[in-house]
Structure formats: C-alpha cells, structure tokens
A and B are shown apart, each in its own frame.
Chain A
C-alpha cells in the first residue's frame, strides 16, 4: 500500500465551503426569480382577462408564490449549512 503523502491545499476547505454557499444561493435565485415571475405574470394576465375571477386568482397566486419561494429557501438553507463549515 503506497504511503499517504501530505496533501498541500491551495484553497482551504472553509473557503471552498463559502464559495459553494455563494454558488448555491446564486443559482437558486435564478430559478426562483423565473418561477415567481411566471406565477405573478399569469395571475395578472388572468385577472386582466376576467376581473370577476380576481379573488380566486389572488388566493392561488399567494399559494403559488409561497411554494416557489420555498424552493429558493431550501437552497438558502444549504448555503447557511455551508457557511458554518470549518
């Protein structure tokens, strides 16, 4: 079995973890922004087509917004976990 050699790290683990946290939340914000834009855009469109449906559309819009936002926040949770790494 070959001897283990000392590994010289150029970038420390903590620094890589912080970089990963940045990438995680940055990428998640892309999808989240697109998703929220779609949800609200469709809601505005359908409310403009048929103003009587506004209460129903508004309720569904809030539900959709919260569920899309949740996805972004799962990635934020991973970013928090990564930020705490040593």
Chain B
C-alpha cells in the first residue's frame, strides 16, 4: 500500500500546477475587477487568456449551457496548461532507479501530465462527467439510442453495438494517451539530446578528442530549438484537451438527436 500511495514528485507537481491555476485566475479576476475594465498589464493578460478559452472552447460547442460549464472548462484548460509547462523548467529530478529514490540527471522537472496516471485521471473525470450527465439528462433509453445505435436498419444496428461501444471507450483513451504521449515524447527527445551516449551534449563534452567540446554546442542548440517547439506543443495540447472535453460535454448536453 505504501508503494501505491507514496507522495512523490508527481503529486507535488500536480499541487503546484493546481495552485498556480488558482493563483493566476483569482489574482487576475481581482485585478480585472479593481481596474474596472481599464488597464493593467496583468489584468489584460489574464483577460486575453480567459477570452481565448471562452471563445474557442466554450462558445464553439456549448451554446446556452456555456454559462454553467465555462468555469470547469477554463479551469481544466489552465490546469493542463500549467501542468504541461511545469515540465519545461530546469530542476533536479528525483526518480526511482530500481527501488531507491535517486537523482536522475535529466536537468528538467518531471511533467505532471507526462504520467499516464495523471492524464488518465483527467480523462476519466471528463468521461464520467459527460456520460453521467448524458444518462441523467436524457434517461438511459435515449442515451443508449444515441450512443450505441446507428441510424441504419436493424440488421446493421445490432452487430455494430460493440463497435459503437469501442468508439465510446476510445474517447477517454485517446484523450489520455494524446496528452501523455505528447509530453513524454518531447521530454524524452530533449533528454536524449542532453545526456544520451552518442548525440548528447553532456556526453560529448566529457569525451577526449579535441574537437568534441566545440561540436557539443550542436546538441545544445538543438535542445534550445526543441524547447521552443515543446512550449508550442504544451499550449496546443492543453487547448486540444479542453476543446475535446467541451465537445464530449456538448454531445451529452444537446437536446435533440
């Protein structure tokens, strides 16, 4: 039991991401209210981000229910964004090597969303909310008809029920794996270009030949470029996660088939 519920680095990172979200949004709201729609750079920044979230995520999919779900979806977007961005900061990484906590020389903090458990938890939460809402609002019969039955003759509908069930299951699975794989792949590529055996900058610097030290600037320059790309990917993936959550929610909330 101790192994499962150990509070290790990922839990601290999730708390940090959630705390940053809370801090940014609450301070931003206070700043916007205090300046009465006027100025202030911080108020404008938070307002721009929240407007971006509102326009592209909430208004695009949820028409009249937008007011109810705006808070949840914006908080989800900001949480995933901060969790993605926390993995791009430099820092010591304490990870498990064998059974002992040891310092992994990765030079980057661990991304909280680079853990399949974290992204699965988020995806399952969105899935349960969307499907539970659909079941409660439409009733089990209408929900089953909408999700599992194709608009086709009966002899096509019955065999495709398992297929529709798989389609339903693919929604949270793809949500979780997309975010996890994006974050982990970027992290691993950067780590590869830092410490790996043949192409890593840190490894190249420790080599004997005289040309090894100047050549080692190449992996470092590539790491800088990759970091920029990873920042873009962090934003895009947070946006996509929130957008698809809004899409799945809107499928359960719409009244007519």
Chain A residues engaging chain B, CB cutoff 8 angstroms:
59, 62-63, 65-67, 69-70, 73-74, 76-77, 80
Contacts and interface: CB of A to CB of B under 8 A. Distances in A.
B169 to A, nearest CB: 14
A80 B56 CA distance: 33
Interface of B: 56, 174, 177-178, 180-182, 184-185, 236-237, 239-240, 243
Nearest to A73: B181
A66 B84 CA distance: 15
Given A59-B56, A70-B174, A77 B181 contact: yes
A80 B236 CA distance: 23
A62 B236 contact: yes
Given A73-B185, A76-B185, A65 B236 contact: yes
B239 A62 contact: yes
For A66, A77, A80, which residue has the most chain B Cβ atoms within 10 angstroms? A66
Nearest to B56: A59
Nearest to B239: A62
Contacts, number: 33
A69 to B, nearest CB: 7
Given A59-B56, A62-B236, A63-B243, A70 B178 contact: yes
Contacts of B240: 63, 66-67
Nearest to B240: A66
Contacts of B177: 70, 73-74, 77
Nearest to B116: A77
B197 to A, nearest CB: 16
Contacts of A63: 240, 243
B224 to A, nearest CB: 21
Contact of B181 (A59, A65, A67, A76): A76
Given A59-B56, A74-B178, 11 more contacts: A66-B236, A67-B240, A70-B177, A70-B182, A73-B178, A73-B182, A74-B181, A77-B177, A77-B180, A77-B181, A80-B184
B155 to A, nearest CB: 32
A69 B232 CA distance: 13
A67 B244 CA distance: 10
Contacts of A74: 174, 177-178, 181
7 contacts: A59-B56, A66-B178, A66-B236, A73-B177, A73-B181, A74-B181, A77-B181
Contacts of B182: 69-70, 73
